[in-house]
Amino acid sequence: MKVWVDSQRCQGHTLCAMIAPDSFVLSDIDGSSSAVNDVVPPDQEDLVREAAHSCPEQAIMITDET
Among 22, 45, 50, 57, binds ligand SF4 (CB under 6 A): 57
Q: Is 10 an interacting residue with respect to ligand SF4 (CB under 6 A)?
A: yes
Binding residues for ligand SF4, total number by CB under 6 A: 13
- The answer to whether 4 and 55 have CB atoms below 8 angstroms apart is no
- The answer to whether 58 and 20 have CB atoms below 8 angstroms apart is no
Minimum Å gap between C-beta 15 and ligand SF4 is 4
Q: Where are the alpha helices (H) located in 2-64, listed in sequence order?
A: 15-19, 45-54
Smaller CB distance to ligand SF4: residue 2 or 13?
Answer: 13
